[in-house]
């Protein structure tokens, strides 16, 4: 999408401890994700997520992340955790995703490596007409997300007109390049800020945020020079 603001949103995903949620807020992160997918090592239940929600700083958005959960499970999380955004990583279709009355992001499985074509963004917009945005992640269709691998970023061509997030294998070492190459609405990270699945590392969290802000400053500098 055409860049008019120069702040890349940051979402830290797979939170399992209130202390990590608190630190994310202090670092200026925009959103934190609680994962309810059955097969995730970062899975939390609604009560654990509720306890972490209490640790959220003002203006930090709680996001509920699912992968082929039942509608009863999603409804239960919505009622008990009160997320402001839903994120769906499985085979969910638009009618299912929008049925909970909350904005949603649809995660798109990009697979790993290169050799696949550019993303057909128009087709995605048609298929997920109710989506607030997309999240391009590196897992293959049917694979578990959160494996810490990148995908071929060149498959995302400039000019995407809907907010999109980049995720999959982002770390403090590559997020600067990803942000500048793709100018995404936001970046999403889970394993790249962890010591082990679900246990975030304060230094990695801080470095990740610093690198995103460094990319934002570079982009802002370019546009100032261009007048």
Ligand X SMILES: O=C(O)c1ccccc1N[C@@H]1O[C@H](COP(=O)(O)O)[C@@H](O)[C@H]1O
Q: Which stretch binds ligand X (CB under 6 A): 23-31, 96-104, 185-193, 201-209?
A: 185-193
Least distance to ligand X, CB of residue 57, Å: 20
DSSP result, 49-94:
HHHHHHTPPTT-EEEEEESS--HHHHHHHHHHH--SEEEE-SS--H
Q: Which stretch binds ligand X (CB under 6 A): 54-62, 119-127, 182-190, 207-215?
A: 182-190
The mark string for 140-179 relative to ligand X (x by CB under 6 A, - otherwise) is ----xxxxx------------------xxxx---------
62 near ligand X, judged by CB under 6 A: no
Residue 177 CB-half CA count within 13 A: 10
The mark string for 13-32 relative to ligand X (x by CB under 6 A, - otherwise) is xx------------------
Q: Left if phi > 0, otherwise alpha if psi is -120 to 50, otherwise beta: which for 183?
A: left
Nearest to 96 by CA among 162, 160, 88, 172: 88
67 near ligand X, judged by CB under 6 A: yes
109 near ligand X, judged by CB under 6 A: no
The Cα 208–Cα 124 span in angstroms is 29
191 near ligand X, judged by CB under 6 A: yes
């Amino acid at each position: 999408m055409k860049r008019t603001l120069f702040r890349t949103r940051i979402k830290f995903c797979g939170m399992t401890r209130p202390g990590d949620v608190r630190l994310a807020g202090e670092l200026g992160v925009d959103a934190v994700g609680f994962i309810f997918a059955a097969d995730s090592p970062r899975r939390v239940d609604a009560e654990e997520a509720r306890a972490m929600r209490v640790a959220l700083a003002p203006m930090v958005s709680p996001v509920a992340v699912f992968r082929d959960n039942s509608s009863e499970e999603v409804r239960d999380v919505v009622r008990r955790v009160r997320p402001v955004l839903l994120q769906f990583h499985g085979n969910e279709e638009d009618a299912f995703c929008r049925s909970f009355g909350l904005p949603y992001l649809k995660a798109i499985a990009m697979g790993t490596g290169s050799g696949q074509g550019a993303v057909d963004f128009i087709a995605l917009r048609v298929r997920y007409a109710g989506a607030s945005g997309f999240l391009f992640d590196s897992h293959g269709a049917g694979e578990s997300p959160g494996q810490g691998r990148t995908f071929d970023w060149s498959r995302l061509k400039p000019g995407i007109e809907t907010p999109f997030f980049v995720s999959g294998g982002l770390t403090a070492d590559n997020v600067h390049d990803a942000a500048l190459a793709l100018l995404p609405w936001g970046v999403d990270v889970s394993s790249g800020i962890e010591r082990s699945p679900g246990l975030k590392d304060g230094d990695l969290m801080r470095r990740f945020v610093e690198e995103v802000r460094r990319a934002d400053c570079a982009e802002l500098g370019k546009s100032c020079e261009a007048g």
